[in-house]
Structures are given as structure tokens and as C-alpha cells.
Amino acid sequence: MVNTVWLKEQRTKHMDWRLEGSTQKVESPVLQGEAGILEETGEDGLPEGFQLLQIDAEGECQEGETLATGSTAWCSKNVQRKQRHWEKIVAAKKSKRKQEKERRKANRAENPGICPQHSKRFLRALTKEKLLEAKHSGPRLCIDLSMTHHMSKKELSRLAGQIRRLYGSNKKADRPFWICLTGFTIDSPLYEECVRMNDGFSSYLLDIKEEDCFSLFPLETLVYLTPDSEHALEDVDLNKVYILGGLVDESIQKKVTFQKAWEYSVKTARLPIQEYMVRKQNGKNYHSEILAINQVFDILSTYLETRNWPEALKKGVTSGKGYILRNSVE
């Protein structure tokens, strides 16, 4: 019995020894790798790879803290210099606004009878109110844009510029017209040119109609302004709708707008240039009564405010047209 127990113990020890040997053979490469890693550890006992990851993570955290708290601890000198420069600019602007505010306050205290300067927001609101009021009760002006199909790109650009200047003058007028662009489609080359050249054209306070002016208003209320008419315009009637031909033609085709008005049996009129102005001698012997639509509008708008044709014509007829007021000759 004793021998049998002893043999079993020896056999068990022999099997344990074989298992330990095989384990050492399998795990030896891993242990060697771990030993190689441990050899590359730093002073704090961490491998260098983990130390680099730790540094990067700390850098990101501190950079995030810099953005959140405004600290410049992790900013380069160039960034810090730009930051200081920007802070100086902001501080200078604040100081300038404060000084301007104090100056206006002092001016109001010294001159209590003078009205304070209105803000741009107030002026825009006032302009919008005047234009919307003109839509219901003011004079009406149509720009006939149904003749632009044969115009060149250059002529369309010039016409778009004239529309911009006309609208700008109307906004500044004390008694603005309500403007309607007729025969005008949003897919036309002229519309694209107006959007390209005029900032905020799509938000202009005016009407854009695809129909022509002859189908939008009663024919008896229409007055087509054309330099080829035999009748001089005597007054601006608020019950009439005045039409300007939106035509820029470098070839100077005559009586285009007059012929169109005649086809619809619409009254025509011309500006009273011949009645209040005379031709002036010039080297080119050039005299013309053909004006851009914004120049015609300036004349109508000035007359509506002053009821004075000489003053109105002086506003719109430039010296390059070869005409001067009769009083200037005398």
C-alpha cells in the first residue's frame, strides 16, 4: 500500500513538472516582449509610448481649457501678439463709441431745440413707410421693359444701372412715386443683370409685372413720355400713370416708344425742354433731348416737389446734352 501511494505521488509530480515546462515554453516569448517593454519605461514606471499619449491628451485638455477660459498658456507668441492687437482694437472702438455718445449728449444739452440725429434703422423704416404710402395714394410711374429683347448685354447693363439710380432717387424723395416694372419676367437676361448689379434688388419696394402697362391700367389714365411727342408736359397729375420706355439703344432708333403708344391710342407727352431751355453752342454741335430713365425721373420728382420746371429741368438735363436754361443766356 505504501509503495502504491508513493508511486502515485511520483507520477503526479512528474506530470506537474511536464506541464510547467510546456507553459514556460509557450509563455516565454510573451515574457520576453514584456521584458523588452519594461526596459523602455521612464522614470515614472510607464512606457514611453504611454507617456507620449499622456502628453498629447493633456495638451488637448489644456487647449480645450484655453478656449473655454480664455487663457493664453498654451498659445504661441504670434497668437498672443495677435490676440493683444485685437483686444486693443476692440477697446479703441468701445472708447470711440463712448466718446461719440458723450459728445452727442453734450450737444443735445447745449442745443435743446435741435432734433437729434435719427438712427439708420429709423430712417429705413421711414423710407419704407413713405414708399408704401405712395403705393396707395402717391403718383405712379411705369417703366416699360417690354422692348429689351433686342438689346445687347452692354445695353442691358446700362439699363440695370439706370433702374438702380432711379430707385435710389425715389427712396430719397420727400414725395416718392410708386414704381411698377412692366413687361418684366424673372427669367429674363435683364432681371439677371439687375440682380447681379443691384444689391438687394429682389427686396426693392416696387411692383414687377409680366404684363405690359397697357393691360394693367385703363388706357385713359396712361401718359407715355417720349421725346418724339408733339405735346409738352405741363403738369404732373396724381390721377395719371406716367410711362417711361425702358430702352437703351446705342443705334438711336427713332420713335420706338412713340409708335408703341400710338398703337394703343395712348396719350403722349415730352418734357418741356424746348419751352424752358435753349441750345448751347458746343464744339461737336450736339444737342439731344433723349435722356436716361433716371434723369427723366429726377425731373419729374423735382417738379412734383417744387412745381418749378426750370429748376426741375436743371436737375436732370446735363450740360452734355447741349441745352441750358433760357435765364442763363439772358
Position 117 scores a pLDDT of 65
Q: Is 160 inside any structural domain?
A: yes
Share of the chain above pLDDT 70, in %: 73
Task: Give residue-wise pLDDT tens across range 73-82.
Answer: 567 888 888 8
Asked if residue 4 belongs to a domain, the reply is no
For 111-159, write each residue's pLDDT tens digit: 766 555 667 788 888 888 888 888 888 899 999 999 888 888 999 999 9
- Structural domain boundaries, residue 177: 119-271
259 in any annotated domain: yes
Q: Of 221, 214, 135, 225, which is closest to residue 178 (Cα–Cα)?
A: 135
In this structure, is residue 196 part of a structural domain?
A: yes
In a domain, 107, yes or no: no
Q: What is the mean pLDDT of residues 238-260?
A: 85
pLDDT bin (cut points 50, 70, 90) of residue 285 is confident
Between 75 and 200, residue with greater pLDDT: 200
User: Quick one: how far is CA 4 from the chain centroid?
Assistant: 105
pLDDT at 119: 74
Q: At residue 70, does pLDDT exceed 50?
A: no
- What tens digit of pLDDT does each residue of 151-193 get? 889 999 999 999 999 999 999 998 999 999 999 999 999 999 9
Mean pLDDT, the chain, whole residue set = 79
Q: Is residue 70 part of a domain?
A: no
Q: Which residues contact 202 (CB under 8 A, 6 or more apart)?
A: 195
pLDDT at 288: 82
Q: Is residue 81 part of a domain?
A: no
DSSP assignment of 138-180: S-EEEEE-TT-TT--HHHHHHHHHHHHHHHHHHHH-SSPPEEE
Judged by DSSP in three states, 325 sits in strand
Q: What is the CATH number of the domain that holds 195?
A: 3.40.1280.30
> pTM of the prediction?
0.63
Cell 408736359: give the residue: 233
* Number of domains, the chain: 1
User: Please, are residues 322 and 291 in contact by the beta-carbon 8 Å criterion?
Assistant: no
pLDDT at residue 290, as a whole number: 86
146: in domain: yes
Q: What is the DSSP letter of 199?
A: T
Q: Which residues pair with 229 in a beta bridge?
A: none
pLDDT at 94 over 50: yes
According to the model, what pLDDT value does residue 23 have? Answer: 44
Q: What percentage of the chain has pLDDT greater than the value 90? A: 41
Residue 199 has what pLDDT? 83
DSSP labels, 242-290: EEEE----TT--TTHHHHHHHHTT-EEEB-THHHHEEE---TT------
Residue 241 is inside which H or E element, if any? strand 241-245
| Lowest mean pLDDT segment, chosen from 1-10, 38-47, 280-289 | 38-47
Asked if the model's pLDDT at residue 218 lies above 90, the reply is yes
Model confidence pLDDT, tens digit, residues 11-48: 555 555 444 444 444 444 433 444 443 344 444 554 55
